[in-house]
Structure 1
Amino acid sequence: MNEKLKTIVVDDEPLARKGLAVRLSAFDIIDVCALCSNGREAISEITKQQPDLVFLDIQMPEINGFQVVQALEEMHDNMPLIIFVTAFDQYAIKAFEIHALDYLLKPVDHERLGSAIDKVVKTLEHAKDGEHKHKLVQLVSEVTGNDCEQILAELASNTPVSVSQYSDVLAIKDVGETTLVPTKDILCIDAAGDYMCVHTHSGTHILRKTMKDLEEILDPKVFIRIHRSSIVNKTYIDKFGNHVSGEYYLILTNDKEMKVSRSYKDKVKQAVLG
């Protein structure tokens, strides 16, 4: 390859971040275009810079490495090649070995770094980045189905990683910015034309997805459909009843009243009353 690889380094530890950047400067093929100190910054820079390669720390506060990848995938942006950087030991990280292009253990060894970069070059030369992206998306769909902090704790303690198909965050894109909304903070979701209004205690977010899309990614043990245009987090249901008119309703913990359609009332009653 003659062209340099546009590269971003993401790590919340300043010394680790700068140290890896210095090591990468020894490779002529690498052009480090940005250093990011957290997940939000990483999502913004990756979206803006469209790099070829990202060295991504897994364990970061607020938004970890897995959630960064999930956000990029949900935004349908071009996915760069990802090399995970982690302090987890080799035994623990084997759970992800088949998915990521490669991974580096901290502290990063120079020879091992060179090997990872060689793998990147060979992947690009043989046009296998599509396969890499597929594996990466598969990984993220498995990992982010559970609480990511739980996943990280399981990795750190060398216990088997539990997986689920359901997401614990919603990535909501708005005017070039992406907000990761933890699903546990969602009170309810209702339809507004072609958009979904995602209501949380801190405010409302607008998301372009269908009810069917949301039902596929939200855990049905937590989120229940109460109407053709409404989904509720049953954690925040305070009351369930019916008016004199015969209409059924829910009242959430924030005093918001929501209509329950007759076709869903039995399902809702069972979910609420057990």
Structure 2
Amino acid sequence: MLKVIVVDDEPLARRGMLVRLADFPELEIVAECSNGEEAVAAIREHQPDAVFLDVEMPGLDGFGVLNQLQQQQIDLPYVVFVTAYDHYALSAFEVQALDYVLKPVEKERLAAAVSKLTKNFAAKDHQRHKGQLAAVVAQLTGEKTDQILQRLDQSQPVMNERFPEAISIKDSGEITRVPVSAIDWVDAAGDYMCIHTRDGQTHILRRTMKELEQELDPKLFVRVHRSAIVNVNTIAKLQMLANGEHQLMLTNGQAVKVSRSYKDRVKMVFNS
């Protein structure tokens, strides 16, 4: 529901507006004010989403209310001016009022103003949520907020796919960070993974093949067997053996068997 304040120095007009606005379940009246000073105080206290604001009031008029809010650095709600005089219309829109309704207020005209209010609030609220989401994602990823907002505006995934640049491996009280780009291939040995790197070393990692596969960028690594993953940049060629099976030859001379269930994945590497 949108929180609303009604401001009018005429009790009968104010009461009439309250009765009419009660027909709109999306609105919640949080205060009614009989003059501009009360309006400023109520807006500061309740922080409403919208104000139905009379223009001509003794002392502080409707435009004076907006001026006071700006001087006190109070967030401006949406403003719908309500007055018996149409010559205020231009001034109302110059101060960025959402709408301008003439007295006596007609039911259809008020409904149009409320519809405009709810649509604008929904758009503003959506934008606010996008900003909050972008701020959270930026904090998590270190990416710039405006880049995240641009993806949201283009209905693209909010987060770019990010994979770790290195894998931490614990061994004998030490933790070694192995750069992912240095991994040639991985094979399973029981409950352990053997990570073979470009410098000829083999690191032992206690993790399942499925867990490791999810951490590796599928653009750079391909599962070739239920117990083997290969860095696509290390693949030299695909060979068909005499028994009809396939194997990969890596640039380091290592041969890695390709199982039938993963053969199509491997062929996609050569077709890309």
Which of the five TM-score ranges fits, normalised by the shorter chain? 0.3 to 0.5
Bigger relative contact order, structure 1 or 2 (CA pairs below 8 A, ≥6 apart)? 1
Q: What is the TM-score normalised by the length of structure 1?
A: 0.44
Q: Which has the larger radius of gyration?
A: 2
